Every structure is written in C-alpha cells, then in structure tokens.
C-alpha cells in the first residue's frame, strides 16, 4: 500500500473540530494519520486511571472517512504525575544536574520504574485496540536518542555491560590502554561514566555502544510487547536520518520497517537528504516510510523559510524516489500553543483550506494515488555502495560532543559525484555482501575489523572496485591506533604505505592528477608511498611533493583505490565517471540541479526527474518516454518546471 498521511493531534483541538478535520483530510486524499504520539497525560491522567474514550471518538470520526491509523506508544513524554511520584526517572545530564520536567524525552533509558510504567500503558493501549482494523500499525516512542543519562543506575548498568563484554579487569585495562595516565581499575565499581570532556577514546567508544544498546533494549521491550498482543499490526519507529548517536542497524533489526523524519529545510541540503534516505533504506535493505515530512516552515532555533509553492511536492517525490512507501506530513495543522507554535502544518493555525500546503497536499495525493500501482512493489537497484558504519562514526569523536571530521560530509563528496551520473547508491555495512556492486566506497573508515578486511579483500579479488578515503585502517576495535604501517590490514591490497601525514584543517595544498589537472586538497592528507600501486594524483607543494595523493592497484580481478586527502569536487566527479563508466542513464541528459533516481519493478524502470531549482530546467531525452504524472509522451528537449517533477517510464 502507498499512503499519504498526516501527523494528527486531536487532543490539541476542540472535539467539535474533529469532524471538520476528517472531512478536510478526506478531501485532500489523506488516508492515514499518526495518533497519540505524546498523549500520555490524556490517556492516563492519573496513575492507573485510563481515558481512551476521546481517542476512540476521534478514531471513529476518522474511520467514517476511511482514514487508517498508526498509533504511537506515548513513552517519549512521561506525564507530570509520574515524574512527581518517581523523580529518579528524570535523567542526570552531563553537567550533573537532573533534567527538569517541561520538555520531552525526559527519561533515563535504563530506569526500571520507567520500564514498568511504559509496559503498563503500552499493554493497555494494545489490548484496547487489538481488534481494530483501522489501526494498521504502531510507532514506538518518538525519535530515540537522547539525552544521555549519567545517573548512578546507568553507571551500574554500564559496569555490568563492561563486565559481560570484557570478563576480566585485566582484559578491560589492556583493551582500553589504562596504563595511560594511571587509569587502571582494580574493581568494576571504580569505573565512572565519561563525564570528563576528553575521555580515553576506548572508554568513550564503549560508552557510545552501551548507550546505543540501552536504547535498543528499551525499544525491543516495546516491540516484543506489541507483537505479543497485536501480531498482525506492523511496528516501526521514527528514525532521524543521519543522527549519529545510535547504531541504527541494530535498532532497525526488530522493526517491520524503518520510518524516518525528514526535514530538508533548504534546497542546498538535497544531497544530504538523499543520502539520509539511502541510509534509512540501507538499515534493513528495504523500502521505508517517511513518518514526518516537512510541509513548510519549521521552528528550530529560528523559523526556517516558508516553502515556495512546489517545494512540498518536490520533497515528497524525492522521498518516494529514494524508496518511501508512505509519506506522512508533520503536522496536520499548526498548533496555537506550545513550543512549536511557529511550526507549519498542512493547515495553518486558522484551519482553513486556503493554505499553500493544503492545496499542495491535495494535488500530491491525487497524483500519488493515481500512480500507486506503479510504485507498489518497486525498489531501488544500485550498482554502487557506500559503507556507513556506527563504530566508525563514533571513533571519529575525539572530544565528547564534537566529531573530528564530518563523516557524512566525507561520504557526500563521492555521493554527489555518483548522483550526478544519475546512478542510485546503496548504503551498507563493512561486513555486508558486497559482491553485487561495481564499486564500494569507504570514507573515514578508521576501524577495519578482521571480518571487514577479509570481506573487502574477497570482494576485490573477485573483481570489485574498492575505494578508501583517508585514514583507512588507522584504528582497532577499541579505537586505539594500530601498530602496523598504514593502511594497516589491507596495505597489500592498496599496494601503498603511509609513513607521514598532515592535518589540513586551516589550509589547503595543490594536488595534480595524471592528466595535469589541478585540485585543492583539504581536511587531511595521508602522504602516500606507493609500493606497487599506480599513482593517479600527486601532491604538488613543498615537502609533500615526493608523495602520492591518490593511488590505484589491481588486485586479483579487481582494483583498490586509496584517496589520501579531501579534494575539490571535480576530482570525485572525474573518478566516479571513470569507475562507473557504462552505468549512467545514457538516454537522459540533465543539468546539475535535476536529480535522477530510479525505482524498478522487474525490468520496468520508473525514472524520477526532480528539479531542485526555482527556474525551469532543460533535459534532453534521446528516446521516447511517457511522463506518468501528465500521461504525455516526451522526447528530445523538454522543460522541467521550477521545482517540477517528471516520472518517466
């Protein structure tokens, strides 16, 4: 099923309004709503007293208009009575202060009392709605991930977690390198939480893994409970794209599918948003939902710009183009109160059908419903993959809250170049089966485990093209530096050695490729000594001059590239054009502002063309296509409207 939906909060409006909302939804073609997300205080106004009649009533009004429901477990916002009774549910922040009531996500993820109350409300809700065919599925909580809690309970949990991982203190001390600054522990109880601003990286990495695992445990508790009572309904969670603080592969595992909250904000973010979609699809190698899709301006620190007409539609197609099965807008109507009162909805505060977003939603849903059968069952097939790995994201944090380098930013250098060729990209783990990809790219892959090294080696031997970014293989699983010559375990694969490097944070140096083209190196420079590899680019600046900046080596039936520094975009464009030769969409030539993405059902391709500019764009088609949206035949030079979309078959 393909759905167009809205995040609806009937508890924010007078009851008399509900039928007006349902009527307007139906007219706009909204066929699913997400409900009860933060409604705990309305569902259980007092300890053990439940009030579901308001929700029943709202749902039956929606049901009469044929609108389905995704129900939420309301655990992202424990009510005031619960906090008053059990103040220890509130997390302790890193500064040692207890978070106070008054925002949301104010709970300690390991707190057993909280687990008890969460289970109780979830059980009640699930029992109450288990026979409702209107409820198609569940969303667990809202946007897991924060804040980290530093309470005594979490500290004890962390010690237990470490004990089960390391078994002995000797092992832990060695693995963490606790000889440094006299950090050796002689009892498990001595181990603190990483509150200091710059903890030992091994300690820091384990705490990140622990935090992720605790979220996982709480999420799995909810999934198990829901599945035991309502096995026929799907269970999902709204993820946050490139959010770095949870291992999303682990978190996604037990959900039926991933959903995510997509707030692109501005057009410049388009590649980052595209990559986010691909990360979300990569978590389960499966299509996903967008559970919150931006429909216009947002409240963040500030208020972001209002979408010009066409942008809501453009971003919606962009979601479908990357694998969305449903797009649910946040939110149905702008709220008149609360911290998000400056946040747009499909309807503005006035609730009339005159808003830009309402008109646009109406158009989108009529188009999408018309082409639904073509979308259903179609998937993205990608000949190239980017490795995206949470241990590596975390090992890149030198000081607690700040990563050293922009991990997705490094991926985006390659990603942009690939997307410009109109080629789909998958996002994978280092240990996934890589054999189906022409090329696999690994930006900022500090940690290369034995298993990953074997996997990559086998992939290249059998004919794959592997491309590593700078600092590849620098660290071990404990986030300690390796003792071998870099790039460590796979030195022979690349046929290079790295004995020297430099940080290019405040400056850039010139690099020239084999054809004499010049680029600027930035961010970091591995100074490469080839040992059998061919040089494809060299540094051309002071003492770097003897060294290579980028190399390639044939290995088995494949090739291994090493790109030792950050380089101007032209370098990646040229490299990817060469590596992916023959995979471009030959029949379509697009300017840069038009993105191509392809969904496919058997051999039938659906080609999305999306114009990310406010001017019309000329595209040239060297064969005849039909635009599914207008049902017109197209060939030769065609104009894509400002923010326009074409769906070619």
**Catalytically active residues, by annotation:** 143, 292
Q: Confirm or reject binding of residue 108 to Zn ion (CB under 5 A).
A: yes
Choice between 149 and 549, CB closer to Zn ion? 149
Binding mask 153-182 for Zn ion (x = CB under 5 A): xx----------------------------
Residue 263 interface partner, choices ligand GAL, Zn ion, none, CB cut-off 5-8 Å depending on type: ligand GAL
Choice from 149, 205, 225, 384 touching Zn ion (CB under 5 A): 149
- Minimum CB separation of residue 358 from ligand GAL in Å reads 18
Residue 169 Ramachandran class (φ > 0 left, ψ -120 to 50 alpha, else beta): alpha
Q: Confirm or reject binding of residue 89 to Zn ion (CB under 5 A).
A: no
3-state helix, strand, coil in the chain (%, to 5): 35, 25, 40
Q: Do 442 and 467 form a contact (C-beta atoms < 8 A)?
A: yes
Q: Which residues sit at the interface with ligand GAL, rule CB under 6 A?
A: 142-143, 261, 263, 292, 298, 330, 340, 343
Q: SS in 3 state form for 555-601?
A: ECCEEEEEECEEECHHHHHHHHHHHCCCCCCCCEECCCCEEEEEEEE
Choice between 143 and 534, CB closer to ligand GAL? 143
Q: Do 287 and 281 form a contact (C-beta atoms < 8 A)?
A: yes
Using alpha carbons, select from 285, 280, 282 the residue that is nearest to residue 327: 280
Q: What's the longest Cα–Cα distance across the chain? A: 77
Using CB under 5 A as the binding criterion, the count of chain residues that bind Zn ion stands at 5
Q: Do 325 and 287 form a contact (C-beta atoms < 8 A)?
A: yes
Q: Confirm or reject binding of residue 193 to Zn ion (CB under 5 A).
A: no
Residue 149 interface partner, choices ligand GAL, Zn ion, none, CB cut-off 5-8 Å depending on type: Zn ion
Choice between 207 and 297, CB closer to ligand GAL? 297
Choice between 107 and 519, CB closer to ligand GAL? 107
CA dist list (Å): 238 to 125, 272, 316: 19, 18, 17
Residue 378 interface partner, choices ligand GAL, Zn ion, none, CB cut-off 5-8 Å depending on type: none
- Minimum CB separation of residue 475 from ligand GAL in Å reads 32
**Choices 146-154, 180-188, 265-273, 416-424 (CB under 5 A): range interacting with Zn ion:** 146-154
- Minimum CB separation of residue 109 from Zn ion in Å reads 7
**Choices 145-153, 249-257, 329-337, 495-503 (CB under 5 A): range interacting with Zn ion:** 145-153
- Minimum CB separation of residue 142 from ligand GAL in Å reads 5
Is 312 strand, coil or helix?
helix
Residue 298 interface partner, choices Zn ion, ligand GAL, none, CB cut-off 5-8 Å depending on type: ligand GAL
Choice between 261 and 360, CB closer to ligand GAL? 261
Q: Confirm or reject binding of residue 226 to Zn ion (CB under 5 A).
A: no
CA 35, 37, 38, 44 torsion-angle sign = positive
Choice between 149 and 439, CB closer to Zn ion? 149
Choice between 258 and 509, CB closer to ligand GAL? 258
CA dist list (Å): 461 to 397, 426, 457, 568, 576: 33, 21, 6, 30, 20
285: number of Cβ within 10 Å: 12
Q: Name the β-bridge partners of 72.
A: 139
CA 123, 129, 131, 133 torsion-angle sign = negative
Residue 310 Ramachandran class (φ > 0 left, ψ -120 to 50 alpha, else beta): left
Distance, in Å, from the CA atom of 333 to the CA atom of 340, rounded to the nearest integer, reads 11
Q: Confirm or reject binding of residue 151 to Zn ion (CB under 5 A).
A: yes
Interacting residues toward Zn ion by CB under 5 A: 108, 149, 151, 153-154
């Amino acid at each position: 099923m393909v759905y167009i939906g809205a995040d609806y909060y009937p508890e924010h409006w007078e009851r008399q309004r509900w039928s007006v909302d349902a009527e307007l939804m139906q007219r706009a073609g909204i066929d699913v709503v997400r409900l009860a997300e933060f409604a705990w205080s309305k569902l259980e106004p007092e300890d053990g007293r439940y009030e579901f009649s308001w929700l029943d009533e709202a749902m039956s009004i929606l049901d009469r208009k044929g609108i389905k429901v995704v129900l939420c477990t309301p655990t992202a916002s424990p009510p005031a009575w619960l906090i008053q009774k059990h103040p220890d549910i509130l997390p302790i922040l890193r500064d040692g202060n207890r978070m106070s009531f008054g925002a949301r996500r104010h709970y300690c993820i390991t707190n057993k009392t909280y687990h008890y109350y969460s289970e109780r409300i979830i059980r009640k809700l699930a029992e109450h709605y288990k026979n409702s065919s209107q409820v198609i599925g569940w969303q667990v909580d809202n946007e897991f991930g924060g804040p980290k809690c530093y309470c005594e309970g979490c500290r004890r949990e962390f010690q237990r977690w470490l004990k089960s991982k390391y078994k002995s203190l000797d092992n832990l001390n060695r693995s963490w390198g606790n000889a440094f600054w006299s950090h050796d522990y002689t009892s498990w109880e001595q181990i603190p939480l990483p509150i200091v601003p710059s903890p030992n990286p091994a300690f820091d990495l384990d705490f990140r893994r622990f935090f992720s695992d605790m979220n996982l445990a709480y999420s799995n508790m909810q999934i198990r409970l829901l599945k035991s009572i309502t096995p026929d309904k799907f269970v999902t969670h709204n993820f946050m794209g490139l959010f770095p603080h949870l291992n999303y592969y682990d978190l996604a595992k037990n959900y039926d599918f991933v959903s995510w909250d997509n707030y692109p904000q501005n057009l410049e973010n388009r590649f980052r948003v595209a990559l986010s979609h691909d990360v979300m699809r990569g978590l389960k190698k499966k299509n996903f939902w967008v559970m919150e899709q931006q429909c216009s301006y947002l409240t963040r620190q500030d208020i972001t710009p209002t979408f010009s007409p066409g942008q809501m539609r453009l971003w919606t197609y962009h979601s479908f183009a990357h694998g969305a099965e449903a797009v649910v807008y946040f939110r149905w109507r702008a709220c008149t109160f609360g911290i998000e009162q400056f946040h747009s909805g499909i309807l503005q505060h006035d609730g009339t059908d005159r808003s830009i977003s309402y008109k646009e939603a109406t158009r989108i849903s009529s188009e999408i419903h018309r082409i639904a059968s073509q979308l259903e069952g179609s998937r993205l097939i990608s000949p190239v993959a980017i490795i995206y790995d949470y241990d590596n994201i975390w090992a890149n944090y030198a000081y607690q809250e700040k990563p050293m380098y922009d991990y997705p930013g490094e991926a985006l250098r390659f990603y942009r170049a690939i997307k410009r060729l109109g080629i789909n990209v998958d996002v994978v783990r280092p240990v996934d089966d890589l054999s189906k990809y022409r090329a696999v790219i690994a930006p900022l892959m500090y940690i290369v485990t034995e298993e990953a090294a074997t996997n990559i080696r086998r992939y290249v031997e059998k004919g794959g093209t592997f491309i590593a970014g700078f600092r590849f293989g620098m660290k071990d699983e404990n986030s300690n530096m390796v003792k071998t010559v870099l790039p460590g375990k796979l030195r022979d694969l690349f046929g290079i050695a790295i004995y020297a490097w430099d940080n290019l944070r405040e400056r850039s140096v010139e690099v020239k490729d084999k054809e004499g083209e010049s680029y600027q190196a930035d961010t970091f420079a591995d100074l490469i000594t080839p040992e059998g590899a061919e040089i494809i680019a060299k540094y051309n600046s002071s003492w770097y001059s003897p060294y290579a900046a980028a190399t390639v080596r044939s290995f088995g039936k494949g090739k291994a590239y090493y790109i030792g520094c950050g380089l101007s975009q032209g370098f990646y464009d040229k490299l990817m054009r060469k590596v992916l030769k023959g995979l471009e969409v030959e029949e379509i030539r697009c300017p840069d502002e038009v993105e191509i993405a392809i969904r496919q059902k058997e051999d039938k391709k659906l080609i999305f063309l999306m114009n990310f500019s406010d001017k019309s764009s000329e595209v040239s088609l060297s064969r005849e296509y039909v635009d599914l949206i207008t049902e017109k035949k197209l060939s030769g030079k065609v104009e894509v409207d400002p923010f326009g979309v074409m769906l070619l078959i």
